[in-house]
Amino acid sequence: MHDAVTVHMAAPPEQIWELVSDVTRIGEYSPETFGAEWLDGTTGPAVGARFRGHVKRNGKGPTYWTTCTVLVSEPGNEFAFGVGPADKPLNVWRYRLEPAADGTDVTESFDLARTHMLRLYWALFGWARGRTNRNGMRTTLERIKAEVE
């Protein structure tokens, strides 16, 4: 109930962090989340800030809104947010940035909560959803890479 994809980018971590932490731009990169907006008067990534993402599941539907909360906001290093209740997110999405020789290794990952329903879902459909998530993370990172290089 966890997976990760890493892509090397020839750009500094701070430049990449600015993109991954600006949730209003997620629609430019993600194949599933096509829009997001900060909530409660928030205008940027701070721990505890909430935003709403507009998702088209599997790129086909259903289409829905989901509320997320920023869990980690360390410029140039890491950005993470939880999907669902702030105190018990159902899924945590994370971007970690590691300086490398001529740029940055960027890892996007997800961790599903270990609830009974999600365990059952993953047991039945994890093979397909896991592949979709892996492909989506790679697409997101490749689109960011195309912008920063």
Separation of alpha carbons 134 and 32, rounded Å? 12
**pLDDT at site 22:** 97
Amino acid code (one letter) for 41: G
Separation of alpha carbons 35 and 31, rounded Å? 11
Q: Cα 113 to chain center, whole Å? A: 15
Query: Does the pTM exceed 0.85?
Result: yes
Separation of alpha carbons 77 and 105, rounded Å? 11
Which overall architecture, per CATH, does domain 2-148 show?
A: 2-Layer Sandwich (3.30)
Strand ranges (DSSP E) for 13-142?
33-38, 50-56, 63-74, 78-83, 91-100, 103-112
Instruction: Tell me the β-bridge partners of 52.
Output: 37, 67
Crossing angle (nearest 10°) for helices 116-148 and 13-20: 130
**pLDDT at site 39:** 97
- Residue 83: how many CB atoms within 10 A of its CB? 18
**pLDDT at site 57:** 73
**pLDDT at site 67:** 96
Q: Where are the domains of the chain?
A: 2-148
CB 9 within 8 A of CB 16: yes
As averages over each run of 10 residues, the pLDDT of the chain (149 residues) reads 94 97 96 94 95 83 89 98 94 97 96 80 72 92 98
Separation of alpha carbons 149 and 145, rounded Å? 6
Buried b (16+ CB within 10 A) or exposed e, 11-21: bebebbbbbbb
**pLDDT at site 4:** 97
